[in-house]
Amino acid sequence: MNVINRFMVYNMKKVTTLKDQSFGDEPDETECSNIKATYQPIVNLSSGETIGWEAFTRINDDNCFRFLYNIPFHTEATPFSTIIDKNCFENAIQKLGRIHSKHKVFLNIQPQSFQTNTFTPRNISDFIQKYGIKPFQVVFEISSRNSFQNDLSFWDLLDQLKHIGIQFALDDVGSGQSDFRWIADLKPQYIKLDRQFYQNALSETIMKVLLESLVTFCKKMNICMIAERLENLTEIELLVDMGILYGQGYYLARPYFPKKNAIPGHAVDIEKPSNRVKKCQLMKCNLPIEKYLRQAPVIQRKTTVLELKEIVSQCAHVTAIIMDQGKAVGVLENQHVYQILCLHKEGAGSTIIDLAKYMERNFFVAESEMSAVDVVKMIAKQNMGLLNPPIVVMSKNSPVGIVSFVELQDVFIRYQIDEARDANPLSGLPGNMAIQQALDEYYRIGHPISLIYIDLDHFKVFNDQYGFKRGDQMLLQLSQILSWAIRRKGGEGDFLGHIGGDDFVIITTPDKAVGICQLVIKSFSRLRNGCYDTKEIKQGYVDSHDRKGLRMQVPLAAVSLAIVDCYDRKEIAELPARAASMKQYAKTISGNSYVLDRRKTIDRRSLEGKKEPE
């Protein structure tokens, strides 16, 4: 909205009177017909959901550029920027239309405008509420390219605006000269990355480390990062991998009037970064949120002062769950409990208080058996603009306590670090710890699963013959074949892990297992020859020697897969032993093959062995 139009052409005598104008008071010489407001969606890059819009102002008359050319860049021009911001702000709010309470509108404002009496909390609050917009839905963007403000009155006004719920975003981060000073003093709820900054970070090691440090900082400070001017899917995938969850740009949606959500077809693409990881690496945290539960008193919405006093007497720090007609309707924070008690200090204990005016209505509800990562993802997807939202935990439709969102975030981050340490260094796939945790997760869910144990036959001879480098290439090729087979034939949430060496494991559903195995064998038999020299391919075996030094002919490497079905939670504990047994059985079949063990009880056993044509 930093475009200037010709309605700002006033003589200097009139400029001085504009400083004290409130919103809605239009100067006589304003030509508002030339202003056009457009709105570009800001999108959750993981879900494709629109979280808000940035308002831009476009001018229908190119005479404004003549005015831009002649504007002096010194202190005397400051009133003009206030006039610009005032009219653009008014126009953007007036033409925005109805928005959901979870959505935001982002508006660019020059720092100089906050040093006048125009952008006061009362003026802003009175104006936006005429159009059904709450203060917490308004985000003022201040560019880091602006000179840092040392005027205390500027920071005092910003504190007043924050007090009524207005939020702030620091724009163009990475292009200004005082980025970190702005961040430290402004304490924004949002940081908007300059395109040049994150583009450099995707190609230069130093810039990448700087961006990663900024991402870590923002997570700790509960600051949302938004990448601007996104133009292709590759950028989005890389940024999501780095932990940047929000973005805007022409790839997602252009600015429109009236406002629109992100283009649905592009939303499918946006989900790909999470899908491509989820398909082959189901990194579910198996720690249920009830492990982090804090007991919280349950109070009816209409209660008495005496009941509140009894709760405080039992626990000095109180966060209570408010119920009304059998449903959780709010959360009463500790400070509000004491505020109520102070207001009714002289009143009788039997005085009835309606807690609706004190409670926090924006909260999340989670079932007690949900995992920490599921809860964190759910909250990030819904995005209600709360930095540390209350989470009410339910069990069988009854509240059992409250969980701290910040604590869950810390658990999730630590878990991701452990996963990274556990990952196989060659394939990058989850290791033994993650495999066990995936089995624990399936045990908790209780759905039928199939475990596929994958092993390479005659791999040791190949490794001895060609060396570890060629051996690693074959293992990496197998891991890629497995990943591809899961994407083609598997289901949502299938898991692929690397036990070590030439042993892999897949967890899928019984209806998908055979299709995955058949595709793996077909692909491996076709691509395997690329790992051998022409001589071995033609003769169909490798010349080798046994431990006694006797010459022997060893067949080319083959893949063996053992499928073990599990339909009951009690059987999961037996899965590893059954899978190892089936793997040995599979290795007795020459060539590429898969075997099935689909026994549902110990007394009833069904074994199938299939050798696929090569």
- Torsion of the alpha carbons at 89, 92, 93 and 96, rounded to the nearest 10: -170
In the beta sheet, which residues pair with residue 559? 456
Mean pLDDT calculated for residue range 112-133: 88
Looking at per-residue confidence, does 204 or 242 come out higher?
242
Q: How far apart are CA 456 and CA 560, in angstroms?
A: 6
pLDDT at 611: 55
327-332 and 302-304 beta bridge pairing: unpaired
Q: Look at residue 486 and tell me whether its pLDDT is greater than 90.
A: yes
Q: Which two tokens stand for residue 307?
A: 């009941």
495-500 and 35-44 beta bridge pairing: unpaired
Which residue is associated with the tokens 């819009």? Answer: 53
pLDDT at 569: 64
Angle between helical axes of 334-343 and 305-314 (0-180°, round to 10): 130
Q: Which residues contact 131 (CB under 8 A, 6 or more apart)?
A: 93, 94, 96
Burial class for 410, CB neighbours closer than 10 Å (0-12, 13-18, 19+): middle
Q: How far is it between the farthest Cα atoms of the chain?
A: 106
Q: Which of 494, 284, 445, 278 is CA-nearest to residue 371?
A: 284
Beta strands in 458-537 (DSSP E): 495-500, 503-508
pLDDT at 74: 41
pLDDT at 285: 46
pLDDT at 599: 56
| Angle of CA points 273, 277, 279, to nearest 5° | 115
Would you say the pTM of this structure is higher than 0.75? Answer: no
50-59 and 104-108 beta bridge pairing: parallel
Residue 311 identity (one-letter amino acid): I
Estimate the share of the chain in helix, then strand, then coil, as percent rounded to the nearest 5.
45, 25, 35
For residue 258, say if its preceding peptide bond is cis, omega within 30 degrees of 0: yes
Q: Are 582 and 608 in contact (CB under 8 A)?
A: no
Q: Look at residue 227 and tell me whether its pLDDT is greater than 90.
A: yes
Q: What is the DSSP string of 150-171?
A: --HHHHHHHHHHHHTT-EEEEE
- Encode pLDDT of 135-156 as tens digits: 999 999 999 888 888 888 889 9
- Domains (range + CATH), the chain: 35-55+99-270 (3.20.20.450), 289-410 (3.10.580.10), 423-611 (3.30.70.270)
Least confident of 222-226, 250-254, 280-284, 523-527: 280-284
Q: Look at residue 7 and tell me whether its pLDDT is greater than 70.
A: no
Mean pLDDT calculated for residue range 309-338: 82
Q: Are 360 and 332 in contact (CB under 8 A)?
A: yes
Q: How far apart are CA 449 and CA 443, in angstroms?
A: 10
Least confident of 65-74, 308-317, 531-540: 65-74
The backbone torsions φ and ψ at residue 194, rounded to the nearest 5 degrees and listed phi first, read -65, 140
| Sign of torsion over alpha carbons 118, 119, 123, 124 | positive
Rounded percentage of the chain residues whose pLDDT exceeds 90: 25
Q: How far apart are CA 24 and CA 249, in angstroms?
A: 31
Q: How far apart are CA 244 and CA 236, in angstroms?
A: 9
Q: Which of 311, 559, 540, 569 is CA-nearest to residue 456?
A: 559
Q: Look at residue 312 and tell me whether its pLDDT is greater than 60.
A: yes
- Encode pLDDT of 400-449 as tens digits: 888 877 777 777 776 666 667 777 888 888 888 788 777 777 766 677 88
Average predicted confidence (pLDDT) for the chain: 78
For the chain, report the end-to-end CA distance as a whole number of angstroms.
64
Q: How far apart are CA 515 and CA 190, in angstroms?
A: 46
607-611 and 593-597 beta bridge pairing: antiparallel
Residue 168 identity (one-letter amino acid): F
Secondary structure of 249-305 in HEC code, one letter for each residue? CCCCCCCECCCCCCCHHHHHHHCHHHHHHHHHCCCCCCCEHHHHCECCCEEECEEEH
Q: Which residues contact 183 (CB under 8 A, 6 or more apart)?
A: 170, 173, 191
Q: Look at residue 83 and tell me whether its pLDDT is greater than 60.
A: yes
